[in-house]
Structures are given as structure tokens and as C-alpha cells.
Structure 1
């Protein structure tokens, strides 16, 4: 007798984001920890996603793939539809925990999936536009965002001069207490 398994998929866009909430939700829904694939630090827009490839390997007809939220499958409506289509064509169901829905490839579930994925994509694009507009408004008022520079302008000029004289980048990084990348950027004038 064949037993069907529940597979979980977790994705965070950056390495700094915690995925515990997603994992906890999948565990509570009955997914075994060893059947949860975690894709950390990968944008939903990426075309090559190792975590998705890893998820597809053990999936068999009759299995279910669970995600905490639909947005974890991808950022665009097209991506989400293509992935869910691949899974349902392989005989799997896809279950979203938030909102609580099952996608099985039927016309009604495809309609719901399309609408929900489009709304999620709209939310992302609206947030992106608001952020861009807010940053532009701040720049227009003379405020510059981002982290403070690790080196002053004078220190950057000194680094550029010392590098031009042949001083090793590693030594300069230690002296100034910054990364090699900061030294290379300073030496390049950026």
C-alpha cells in the first residue's frame, strides 16, 4: 500500500529573514521536519531556484505540497501558476495555509489561485512603488538613505593613494578596520 506524504516548502528572500514562523506552521499542519525544504536568501523572482528543484525530486502522485503563504512559491502570478501547474500535473495537490486553500488543478482552484497570486503580486508592486516614491521624496529634501559610510572622504582618498603605491588591500583593511570590499571600492573611487 502506498502512503502519501506531505512536503513543506519555506522561502525567505534574504538570509537575514527568519523562517521559523513558516516552519512552525508547516509542522503544525502535519509535515514532518525531514520533508520540509528551506530556500533561504532567494528572491521569489529568481528563475533558478535550487530549493524548488529539491522539492520536486521526492514528490510523487498523491502527495501534497504545503506552503505557509502563496507568496512563498513565487513573486509573480505567472511563476506561481507555472509551479502549481507542474505540481498538479505530477499528481500532487498544493495547499496554502494562509489563506487556507487547496489547489488541485481544477478550474475553480485555478481561478482562485490566479486571483490570489495576482493580488499578492499587486501588493508587492504597490509596496515597491511606495518605497521608491518615498526615497525619491527624501532625496529631493536632501536626505540620503543607506548605511553610514565606513570611511570618511579623507580616508577613502588615503586608501586610494596607498593602493596606487602598491600597499596590500588586506593590510589596509586591517588598519582601517573595514572589509576588503570596502578597500577595493575606495581604491576604485566608488
Structure 2
């Protein structure tokens, strides 16, 4: 059965925590919605997606579920991260609601022109963000190479940021999440994830 999950995150201000919950409850009451589960935490946006339980949130949300936040900034530490997360949710047929921005995006409602437009915009912004990151990376590598610095990690087996996350990666793959989106959730590059799967997981 579809569920509605409310995500509430604060840094330190307890009053802001109460305000977010009030805004969500007030909105849901007006729209005839019921919050089935609250995901509440006090943590800085500078922490990783895993620490902010974003990866847990994505894992628990299924098609036809609904995610409600008081505002977009609760979800990520950068515009790019928020855009990519919303794109991932809409790809998985999860309805997304951000109260402050008056966003209600439902990819399964073919008659909702606003949702169609917003999904297209977020898709384009996500693609633009990836292109900009790629361009900055290439420029940085070119400068480093020009200065005589070695590019990339030494060849051969070594420690990876993904060590210990094999089960989590397998779960995402089994659920049909693309490698590009898994990389975003785990806060690594696509190449890092792809190499990890090839070198450490496919050999097991």
C-alpha cells in the first residue's frame, strides 16, 4: 500500500524542527493526506547522504509512495544534489512535495501538465549539472597534467570508499537503480562505482 513519508532535518535549532513538523502536518491536513512515517534527524547538511539518511529514504520509497518536505534545502547540501535526488524520485514514480516552493510533482499523473513541465525542467537541470561537473573535472585534470602531476590512483588493488557497501550496492542494483544514481546516493563518481563493481564485486 502506498505510503507518505515526511523528511525533517535540522542542524541545531529545536524551534525550526517544530516549525517544519507543523508546516507538514498543516499542509497534509489541508490536502487530505496522512503521514505514515516520519524521518527526523538533527544533522548538518554538510554530512554525507548516508549520514543524513538520504540513501535510506530512497531505498524505502517505492512507486506510488509520496515524500513531503517543508522546503528543498532540507534534502541536500547543494543545488545539484537536490536536483538529482528529485530526478531519481520521479524516475521511480515517487510523488514529491516541497511545501515552501509549492512543488507537487507526480510523474504518474499524465493529465497534470505542471508535473510534466517540472519533471522536464529537473531532468534538464540534472543533465546540466552532470555536464558542468564533468567539464570542471576535465579542466582540473588538464591543469594538473600540465603541471606534471600524476592523474588517477595507482594501479592494483587497494582500499576503496565503497568497501563494506557491497550489500547496499547489490540491493540498489536488484531494485533497478542505475549505476549513475547509485553513485550519487553513495557520494562517489560513476567511474569509482563501476570500477569497484568490476574489480571487487564481480570477482566474488
TM-score normalised by L of structure 1: 0.49
Higher alpha-carbon Rg = 1
